[in-house]
Amino acid sequence: MSGKLSRSEKRRLLKADSRWVGKPIALNKGREPFEANIRHMVSILRDDKNMYRASEVSEYAHRLHEITMRASKPTKLACAKGCYYCCHTFVTVVPAEVFRVAGVLQKRSDDIVNHIKETHAKTSGISQQDKWRSLVPCPLLDADSCSIHEVRPLTCRGCVSTDAESCKRIYMEGKEEVPPFVIEYNSVTTAIAASLSAALRLVGLQDRSIDWNGALAVATSTKNSEERWLAGEDIFSDVTRAIGTNPGTPFDKMVNGLVQNVAPTI
């Protein structure tokens, strides 16, 4: 889309968006559902009076993922409580997502913050490839279960499998096998992560995915971390960026396409 819309055109578009906002996304409906939800996420992020709008927009994206997957009725999964193999690999997060998790962790003891720092220290000096092989567990893994499952990031929501034993061989034993992922989850997770990233890019906030452990360490140990990040401070400057979202990658091109289409409409 080229050229800015008039106010009346924007009003009509927002009215039309109500068909898609907060509703399960159908991947076969083209760009319209995604662009409508991106506009809604931008409206959340532009509410300067809301100091927790990064957490709020992440919650919205997570909810969108959940209702979309429930509606799509994908293949039965092998994933269950106590299945923790994929919790020992390199995880990335869209920056805004980490604040939702940090908000939950603030209500817990200081021990968890120290444990996060210790985990990050073990992996911060090695390459992304070596992090995959390090088998260092997620710092939020507790008794072989995710302690923040309700607020887990999109990467974790999309990493699901039909064969737990295959995941054990891949993640714990280093076997080179094709992961038995479910394509519906991969497609929806990628699309919603791109939509969230596009909304962040449209309002001038950092959108490239970063290392989960490093992001957690910064967000939980930095005073007023969400407020400072929303104000433009690059609090994650020392955290490893995910190579899969580098400029020019397929994911980055997807985000750019969404940004170019939505920008004239907001």
Contact 41, 196 (CB under 8 A): yes
Average pLDDT of the chain to the nearest whole number:
91
Task: Evaluate if residue 181 carries a pLDDT over 90.
Answer: no
- Enumerate residues 6+ apart whose C-beta is below 8 A from 132: 89, 90
Q: How far apart are CA 266 and CA 10, in angstroms?
A: 7
Q: How far apart are CA 18 and CA 7, in angstroms?
A: 17
> Which alpha helices (H) appear in the chain, and where do they start and end?
7-17, 32-45, 53-72, 97-105, 110-123, 128-134, 154-158, 164-167, 183-202, 212-221, 225-230, 250-262
Assign 34 a pLDDT band (cuts: 50, 70, 90).
very high
If one compares 186 and 1, the residue with the highest pLDDT of the two is 186
β-pair type (141-142, 145-146): antiparallel
Average confidence (pLDDT) over 171-187: 86
Which pLDDT belongs to residue 73? 74
Which pLDDT belongs to residue 2? 53
Which pLDDT belongs to residue 224? 95
Rg (CA), the chain: 19
Task: Evaluate if residue 57 carries a pLDDT over 80.
Answer: yes
Average confidence (pLDDT) over 35-39: 96
Which pLDDT belongs to residue 229? 98
Assign 123 a pLDDT band (cuts: 50, 70, 90).
confident
Average confidence (pLDDT) over 31-44: 95
Q: Where are the domains of the chain?
A: 7-265
Task: Evaluate if residue 58 carries a pLDDT over 60.
Answer: yes
Global pTM? 0.92
Task: Evaluate if residue 105 carries a pLDDT over 80.
Answer: yes
Q: What is the DSSP letter of 142?
A: E
Query: Poorest-confidence range of 11-25, 31-45, 121-135?
Result: 121-135
Average confidence (pLDDT) over 249-264: 96
